[in-house]
């Protein structure tokens, strides 16, 4: 925020706009909810004052530094107000304002309200204008260190990476996140996002790397749904000529993992993945039917009807063969 914005914000917190001599030429506009408002919101006097003047400058289309400063006070009271953010961008452009200073102001709001969609959208527009994403990955890292599942931060990070082709170091970042929390589904999703943009299809060493990485993660925590989803996604993304071979590797992995668990109750995901790869290859039909029965009756009863359907479809294929 500019020095003048900070001074005005500090001053207006004590003195109403209606008592500012420099605003004497403006007639504030009250909010009009109509005569039959169902629920009238009990706005504070300060809120009524600030937004009364904001509506006035919005309607009059005033382009001035004081109008820009006023939007900062309005956003301080309601940082999710889309109209104020939109008008602020309009004023920034018309005034030719310092966008680096605006980025600093925007970061301050993000630090205070990291789950506010409007401020992230504002920042995206600023980056579009400046074409300078140099601070964005670090900013999102800081936000995600405080909340690893902040959807808006992930969305902004992905937008920046895709827009400016910033994929080079991202796998290392994702791996650090997964070392801290192997169940971080947002990090798994980010890994798939990166792989999908680096490789149209998986084959050769990239495929081997992803299978090895994911299988190692599953061995550490066999009941982690995110890593199983990633494994299934990797199978879907691999080249057609290696799909059968890849499913065989996954089949062997699942069977070995089941053996290592011995008498422990196996996670649903092992059995479900075995059903999927066996069904895709029409492999070991009798055992696959039994897996469906076990899932329906013991391991995944909530999806009993689904597994019963899978059992019938496998049996129908066997009969038709």
Tokens matching residue 108:
């301050």
**115 counts as catalytic:** yes
Question: How far is Cα 177 from Cα 195, in angstroms, rounded to an integer?
Answer: 16
Question: How far is Cα 107 from Cα 141, in angstroms, rounded to an integer?
Answer: 13
Catalytic residue among 46, 48, 115, 243: 115
Question: How far is Cα 27 from Cα 45, in angstroms, rounded to an integer?
Answer: 16
Dihedrals phi, psi of 202, to nearest 5 degrees: -95, 135
Q: How many CB atoms lie within 10 A of CB 91?
A: 20
Handedness of CA 146, 149, 151, 155 (dihedral sign): positive
Task: Using only the alpha carbons of the chain, give its radius of gyration.
Answer: 28
Tokens matching residue 73:
């006070």
DSSP 230-259: HHHHHHHHB-GGGHHHHHHHHHHHHHHHHH
Active site residues: 115
């Amino acid at each position: 925020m500019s020095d003048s914005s900070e001074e005005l914000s500090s001053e207006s917190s004590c003195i109403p706009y209606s008592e500012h001599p420099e605003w004497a030429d403006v007639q504030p506009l009250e909010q009009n909810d109509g005569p039959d408002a169902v629920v009238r919101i009990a706005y504070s006097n300060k809120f009524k004052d600030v937004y009364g003047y904001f509506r006035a400058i919005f309607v009059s289309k005033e382009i001035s530094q004081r109008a820009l400063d006023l939007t900062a006070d309005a956003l301080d009271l309601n940082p999710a107000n889309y109209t104020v953010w939109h008008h602020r961008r309009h004023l920034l452009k018309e005034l030719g304002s310092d966008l680096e200073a605006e980025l600093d102001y925007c970061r301050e709001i993000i630090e205070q309200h990291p789950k506010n969609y409007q401020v992230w959208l504002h920042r995206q527009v600023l980056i579009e204008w400046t074409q300078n994403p140099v601070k964005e990955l670090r900013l999102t890292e800081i936000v995600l260190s405080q909340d690893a599942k902040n959807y808006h931060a992930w969305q902004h990070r992905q937008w920046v990476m895709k827009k400016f082709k910033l994929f080079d170091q991202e796998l290392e970042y994702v791996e650090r996140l997964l070392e801290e929390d192997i169940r971080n589904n947002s990090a798994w999703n980010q890994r798939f996002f990166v792989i999908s943009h680096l490789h149209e299809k998986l084959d050769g060493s990239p495929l081997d790397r992803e299978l090895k990485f994911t299988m190692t993660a599953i061995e550490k925590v066999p009941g982690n749904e995110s890593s199983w989803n990633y494994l299934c996604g990797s199978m879907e993304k691999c080249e057609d000529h290696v799909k059968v071979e890849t499913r065989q590797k996954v089949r062997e992995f699942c069977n070995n993992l089941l053996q290592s668990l011995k008498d422990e109750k196996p996670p649903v995901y092992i059995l479900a993945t075995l059903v999927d790869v066996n069904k895709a290859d029409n492999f070991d039909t009798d055992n696959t039917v039994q897996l469906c029965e076990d899932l329906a009756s013991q391991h995944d009863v909530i999806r009993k009807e689904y597994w019963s359907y899978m059992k019938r479809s496998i049996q129908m294929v066997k009969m038709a063969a």
